[in-house]
Amino acid sequence: MNNSIQQNDQLLIATALTAVFGTKIVSQHEYETLANASPPIQSQRFHETNIYTSHLVTGPVPDIDPYYSETQSGTEEIIIRTHSSSEDSLQEQFLTIHIPLSSTVQDLKSVIRIRMSIPVTSQIELNYMGQILLDHHALSKYIFEYPQFNTFGSILNFREDSHDFVRNNAPVIKMRALKSDSECSIGYINSSHLHPEYDRDFTEINNDRKKFFRGGKRYRRPLGWKRYALKVVDEFEDYTNKSTFGDNNISKEGDNVNNKWLGREEQRSKKHVSLDNEWVVAYYGTSQYKDENMADAAYFMASKKQPGPKNGPKSIRLSALSYFFSSLLSSGKFWFSRGVYTTPKIELAMKYATKFMYEDEKYMVLFQCRVRPETLKKIGGFWVSPMIEDVRTYGILIRKDTKE
């Protein structure tokens, strides 16, 4: 593909992600230009944007079994990582804070300011997994409340090589104290995470003459959209025959890596049929429709249809092992208290598309994902998955907004 076309596409994607995240995102080319400016911009800092998971937001799930809800701590342990400089070295410091995930980012900053004696004249910037945290959002928007047990009642293990999970699996938020707005970090897209070879243009396709299937479920292709592919080939390990839901699915040194979950096109006998062990296709929107995001809409939809939990005392007395098995076998209970909401219906997802302007034209952006079918639950037209590892974003969908 022509380099100038790639640069224009990356500018479009960067503008879309700026609208999604609410903070400045630039392309790889823009980043290199700014980072290598002469004379250098001393106060400017950059961070690589996580385009795989930073857009995903959890929401509460209805009809939680009392055992789970009453045995969870009311607060989450969060580790704040910062650096202090001395005349001789730059030292890393860690601060442990216990705070409910329902608290806002601003609430967390207030605690940090007091605990670390940061003057009010300095701003605080928080970065979690490549995303700058915005003051008015709840911490639960960014930090997933992982279930504490897998199906066999053992403690979950997170990525040992990640800087975002250390010290008893608590999430780590990076912090900087800023002297002015000009020091705010700018996110950039690592172009190696894009995969133009697998970009697909659906803008000229008006209808599907055949029904497509992925993961054994109907795949409604994103007609009218252009998909910008993310680099996911050979990036994840096999989930086949896994007995637990909490196992790490990020590949390590190529061990057990395959692409069955993705279902490579060259392996299909016909392009509209499913392959064994592939994951289903879903869509994810980051905006609101009628003052509700996807999680809110699905939650309230289910809450109106389902009665509250029954037989609470008996459920509370269940052991962790029997509880999780009974939860998994029951179609009416959720064994997790928060989840990631997606939808297999592109028309429904479109209501939650984030809108933005690019070169004086209106656009919309969605995310195309693969969802692990074994763990998803259905709520009306939505799906909810218990873990971030159960949702893998593999494409950014963009189209012009033709509605006035």
- pLDDT tens figures, 263-284: 877 677 788 888 888 999 999 9
Q: Which domain holds residue 340?
A: 191-400
| Residue 272, φ and ψ in degrees, nearest 5 | -95, 0
Per-residue pLDDT for 119 more than 80?
no
List, for residues 303-327, the tens digit of each pLDDT value. 665 444 443 333 333 333 333 333 4
Per-residue pLDDT for 342 more than 90?
yes
The number of distinct structural domains making up the chain is 1
Average pLDDT, the chain: 75
129 burial level (CB within 10 Å; 0-12, 13-18, 19+): buried
Given this model, what pLDDT does residue 274 score? 86
Given this model, what pLDDT does residue 300 score? 81
Is 224 in contact with 63 (CB distance < 8 Å)?
no
Per-residue pLDDT for 88 more than 60?
no
pTM confidence score: 0.71
Domain assignment of residue 271, yes or no: yes
Sheet hosting strand 338-342, strand order edge to edge: 58-60, 338-342, 382-385, 377-379
Q: Give dist(CA 79, CA 99) in Å, integer.
A: 11
Given this model, what pLDDT does residue 69 score? 38
Domain assignment of residue 371, yes or no: yes
Amino acid in position 69: S
Domain assignment of residue 304, yes or no: yes
List, for residues 95-106, the tens digit of each pLDDT value. 888 887 778 888
Given this model, what pLDDT does residue 103 score? 80
Given this model, what pLDDT does residue 16 score? 96
Please compute the mean of the pLDDT values over residues 125-134 and round it to a whole number: 82
Q: Which residues pair with 214 in a beta bridge?
A: 217
List, for residues 105-114, the tens digit of each pLDDT value. 888 888 888 7
Given this model, what pLDDT does residue 365 score? 98
3-state SS class at 308 = coil
List, for residues 232-261, the tens digit of each pLDDT value. 998 887 654 443 333 334 443 445 667 889
List, for residues 344-368, the tens digit of each pLDDT value. 999 999 999 999 999 999 999 999 9
Domain assignment of residue 167, yes or no: no
Given this model, what pLDDT does residue 394 score? 96
Amino acid in position 356: F
Domain assignment of residue 244, yes or no: yes
Given this model, what pLDDT does residue 41 score? 65
Per-residue pLDDT for 168 more than 60?
no
Domain assignment of residue 315, yes or no: yes
Domain assignment of residue 114, yes or no: no
Given this model, what pLDDT does residue 90 score? 55
Given this model, what pLDDT does residue 138 score? 81
Domain assignment of residue 76, yes or no: no
Given this model, what pLDDT does residue 169 score? 59
Question: Which residues, 6+ apart, have CB-to-CB distance to 144 below 8 Å?
Answer: 58, 338, 340, 387, 388
Q: Which two tokens stand for residue 222?
A: 């994103």
Q: Which two tokens stand for residue 187?
A: 């996110």
